[in-house]
């Protein structure tokens, strides 16, 4: 199970994204400051952006090959995508949001059914609600459930906890752990929070100005800080 | 109200409805292309579409008359190939009102599409929906309020169109006489009373259209 990025290049406003990496963790973190190119990289994997150069392979299947002009459309990639704000469809109920991509796929991993996903994410009581009545945390759980019910091969999560306050983030983190443990769907988790990387990820890519500065275990680059939190080690890698 | 006044009223409503239905698919498609895609010549098309808003309606009418007349580029072809006469017929009224109300529809619909968060469409794609299903199940429902408002605005504009219509279709009682053409004609003849009657009808229809659109917008919001 891997996402291979070979010579992926995409011109952004201030710099070019240039990435060579193989992501093979159960949850791979993509960590970097705002505007470092994290979201753009995720969009390249999801097929929402075409890179100028490079190859993207997911589990051995070539989804993008810029020189050979191979490009699978987003709907044919089998990747679940959860953006920062959840992007729930405001004109549909929670239930219809959850079922939006459900049933599109022939092969469905066991356990990925409506009842089980609702139970794991504790959203069964929300299904008849309107989107605008949900709290921030509820929205993110519904967005995660919706992506899961489309039975993706990979889940791409773009700062799903950014914009929420710290106590709420702490309450939501266990849901991602449960999803990781229950459904065995590999995830790529974009964040600028060292705590989220340490809590969830077994592999991390540090991105700065569109380039990978480090890839490996999170504990080598994050050190404990005050208040049971973590921070990026100032001197770079912790040897 | 006299039989003639009824005929003028129904003719005007029919023409405005037909012209709105005629421009709706093209206007919505163009608005979407302007809101969501970049293509060569986009700014030229944008300017062309806006032209009827800024040049005098009579001038637009003159352009249409030259284009659609028997010796016109399009009119000649239509008559030879399909036997269709446009100028000084009800078809001329429909085309004149359609051209004059097209910019209002496109502008309103474009804003409606621009207000739909593109992220929602992207997420729908990743959930397995192709572009058409995304348009039908996400973009269209979310832009619907603006599209209906645009269509009603176009309808209202078509109801009151005068300058381009008089050039292309003239005033022919029973054939091309709309409410606004008839009001003008009646005032010219000094029949102010009858003109005021038609004015009242115009106000009632316009009020109903605007009130209907406001009601629709409120209903969708609540």
Distance CA B154, CA B54 (A): 16
Give the count of Cβ contacts less than 8 A between chain A and B. Answer: 60
Candidates B119, B128, B138; nearest CB to A83? B119
List Cβ neighbours of A135 (8 Å cut-off, separation of 6 or more): none
Share of chain B above pLDDT 70, in %: 98
pLDDT in tens, B10-46: 999 999 999 999 999 999 999 999 999 999 999 999 9
Distance CA B28, CA B133 (A): 16
Q: What is the pLDDT of residue B221?
A: 55
Asked whether A207 and A16 are in contact (CB, 8 A), the reply is no
Burial of B165 (0-12, 13-18, 19+ CB in 10 A): buried
Question: Which residue from A82, A81, A44, A80 is spatially nearest to A63, judged by alpha carbons?
Answer: A44
Candidates B124, B126, B137; nearest CB to A79? B126
- Inter-chain touch A90–B142, beta carbons under 8 Å: yes
Low-confidence ranges of chain A (pLDDT < 50): 106, 239
Distance CA B157, CA B20 (A): 10
Query: Which residues in chain A touch residue B126, judged by CB atoms under 8 angstroms apart?
Result: 46-48, 74-75, 77, 79-81, 101, 147, 150, 156
Torsion over CA of B162, B165, B166 and B168, rounded to 10 degrees? Answer: 160
Which helix or strand (DSSP H or E) is residue A65 part of? strand A61-65
- Inter-chain touch A46–B142, beta carbons under 8 Å: no
Angle (CA) B155-B160-B166 rounded to 5° is: 120
Query: Which residues in chain A touch residue B117, judged by CB atoms under 8 angstroms apart?
Result: 87
- pTM (2 d.p.): 0.85
By three-state DSSP, how is residue A107 classified?
coil
Q: What is the DSSP letter of B126?
A: H
- The distance of A55 to chain B (nearest Cα, Å) reads 19
- Inter-chain touch A89–B129, beta carbons under 8 Å: no
Please compute the mean of the pLDDT values over residues B182-195 and round it to a whole number.
Answer: 94
pLDDT in tens, B43-78: 999 999 999 999 999 999 999 999 998 888 888 898
Nearest CA in chain B to A91: B142
Using H for helix, E for strand and C for coil, what is the string for B1-26? Answer: CCHHHHHHHHHHHHHHHHHHHHHHHH
- Inter-chain touch B122–A81, beta carbons under 8 Å: yes
**Paired sense of beta strands A154-158 and A79-82, if any:** parallel
Q: How far apart are the first and last CA of chain A?
A: 28
pLDDT in tens, B84-118: 888 899 999 999 999 999 999 999 999 999 999 99
- The distance of B186 to chain A (nearest Cα, Å) reads 49
Q: What is the pLDDT of residue A239?
A: 44
Q: What is the DSSP letter of A37?
A: S
By three-state DSSP, how is residue B95 classified?
helix
Token pair for B142:
């979310």
Q: What is the pLDDT of residue A106?
A: 46
- Higher pLDDT pick, B215 / B45: B45
Candidates A87, A104, A156; nearest CB to B117? A87
């Amino acid at each position: 199970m891997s996402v291979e990025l070979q010579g992926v290049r995409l011109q952004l406003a201030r710099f070019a994204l240039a990435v060579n990496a193989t992501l093979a963790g159960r949850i791979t973190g993509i960590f970097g400051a705002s505007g470092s190119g994290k979201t753009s990289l995720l969009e390249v994997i999801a097929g929402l952006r075409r890179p100028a150069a490079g190859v993207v392979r997911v589990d051995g299947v070539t989804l993008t090959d810029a020189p050979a002009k191979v490009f699978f459309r987003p709907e044919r990639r089998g990747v679940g995508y959860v953006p920062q704000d959840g992007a729930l469809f405001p004109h549909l109920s929670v239930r219809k949001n959850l079922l939006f991509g459900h049933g599109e796929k022939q092969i469905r991993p066991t356990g990925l059914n409506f009842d089980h996903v609702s139970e794991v994410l504790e959203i069964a009581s929300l299904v008849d609600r309107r989107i605008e009545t949900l709290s921030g945390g509820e929205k993110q759980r519904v967005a995660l459930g919706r992506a899961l019910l489309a039975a993706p091969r990979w889940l791409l999560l773009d700062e799903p906890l950014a914009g929420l306050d710290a106590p709420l983030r702490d309450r939501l983190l266990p849901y991602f752990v449960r999803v990781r443990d229950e459904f065995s769907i590999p995830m790529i988790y974009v964040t600028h929070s060292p705590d989220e990387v340490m809590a969830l990820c077994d592999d991390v890519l540090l991105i700065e100005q569109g380039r990978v500065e480090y890839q490996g275990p999170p504990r080598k680059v994050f050190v404990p800080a005050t208040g049971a939190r973590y921070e990026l080690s100032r001197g770079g890698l912790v040897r | 109200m006299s039989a003639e006044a009824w005929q003028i009223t129904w003719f005007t409503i029919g023409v405005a409805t037909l012209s709105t239905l005629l421009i709706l698919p093209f206007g919505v498609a163009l608005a979407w292309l302007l809101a969501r895609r970049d293509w060569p010549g986009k700014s030229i098309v944008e300017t062309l579409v806006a032209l009827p808003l800024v040049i005098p309606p009579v001038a637009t009418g003159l352009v249409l008359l030259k284009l659609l007349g028997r010796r016109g580029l399009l009119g000649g072809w239509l008559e030879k190939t399909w036997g269709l006469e446009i100028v000084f017929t009800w078809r001329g009224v429909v085309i004149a009102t359609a051209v004059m109300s097209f910019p209002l529809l496109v502008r309103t619909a474009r804003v409606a599409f621009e207000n739909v968060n593109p992220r929602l469409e992207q997420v729908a794609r990743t959930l397995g929906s192709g572009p058409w299903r995304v348009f039908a199940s996400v973009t269209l429902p979310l832009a619907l309020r603006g599209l209906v408002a645009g269509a009603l605005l176009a309808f209202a504009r078509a109801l009151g169109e005068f300058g381009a219509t008089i050039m292309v279709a003239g005033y022919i009682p029973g054939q091309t006489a709309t409410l606004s053409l008839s009001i003008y004609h009646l005032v010219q003849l000094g029949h102010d009373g009858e003109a005021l009657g038609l004015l009242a009808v115009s106000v009632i229809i316009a009020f109903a259209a605007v009130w209907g659109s406001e009601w629709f917008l409120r209903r969708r919001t609540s």
